[in-house]
Structure 1
Amino acid sequence: MALRCFIVDDSPHFLAAAQTLLERDGFAVVGVAGSSEEALRRVEDAEPDVVLVDVDLGGESGFDLVRRFERETSLDQSRVILISTYTEEDLGDLVQSAPAAAFLSKSSLSAGAIRGILDRNP
């Protein structure tokens, strides 16, 4: 069965590219959102197995969004992965303190990388 993925990113170009990449590798992209409010409205209904959240959502913070997911939804935080064009070292303590399973650089985004993270966080 395909893993169900929801992607939150303010870049339509990245959303399209990530969706194509993940679907080619057997994932089902069950939803996308370009803002925190849209993600909060749509994510639970999509019933994803994993949620990818960009740390920089234009004028919004993906770090704040994952904290809101924790408070306002029933999402399993071990299924939330932060993504960014920045490296984990660039973001330091923000990544460590976020209620998310892991951080993944956008340049390393792949179905295999996501599965590896989920396998480490059953």
Structure 2
Amino acid sequence: MALRCMIVDDSPRFLAAARGLLERGGLLVVAEATNSADAIRYAVEVGPDVTLVDINLGEQSGFDVVRRLTREGTVATATVILLSTHAEEDYADLITASPAAGFLPKTRLSAGAIREVLGLPA
């Protein structure tokens, strides 16, 4: 059974590219959200196995979105992965303090990298 994924990012171009990349890698993208309200709604509606959240969501903080998703029990903490075009070191303290399972730079995004962060077999 394919891992069901939701992507939260404010860039339609990135959403389309990420969907294609992840689906070619065997993941099923069940939802795309561009803001926190949609992320919460879609998480409740589709119950993704993993949620990818961009740290920089325009005027919103991806860290806030992750806290809302996990605090409200919408998604399990262990299934949220933060994404960014910036290096992990740029946000190291915030990533560590976040309830997310881990971090992936957008340049490393792949189905295999997601499985690795979640501790699943490739």
TM-score bin, normalised by smaller chain: over 0.9
State the superposition RMSD in angstroms.
Answer: 1.0
Structure 1: how far apart are the matches of 2:6 and 2:70? 16
- TM-score, length of structure 2 as denominator length: 0.95
Query: In the alignment, residue 47 of structure 1 is paired with which amino acid?
Result: G
Following superposition, the deviation at residue 65 of structure 1 comes to 0.7
- Are 1:88 and 2:84 an aligned pair? no
Structure 1: how far apart are the matches of 2:73 and 2:20? 27
Q: Which runs of 5+ in 1 are unaligned?
A: none
- TM-score, length of structure 1 as denominator length: 0.95
Partner of 2:34: 34
Query: In the alignment, residue 73 of structure 1 is paired with which amino acid?
Result: G
Does the aligned pair in 2 maintain the 1:44–1:73 contact within 8 Å? no
Following superposition, the deviation at residue 44 of structure 1 comes to 2.0
Q: Which runs of 5+ in 2 are unaligned?
A: none
Following superposition, the deviation at residue 42 of structure 1 comes to 1.3
**Residues matched between the structures, number:** 120
Query: In the alignment, residue 28 of structure 1 is paired with which amino acid?
Result: L
- Tell me the SS of whatever aligns to 1:92: helix
Moved over 4 A (4+): none
- Tell me the SS of whatever aligns to 1:7: strand
Structure 2: how far apart are the matches of 1:94 and 1:83? 13
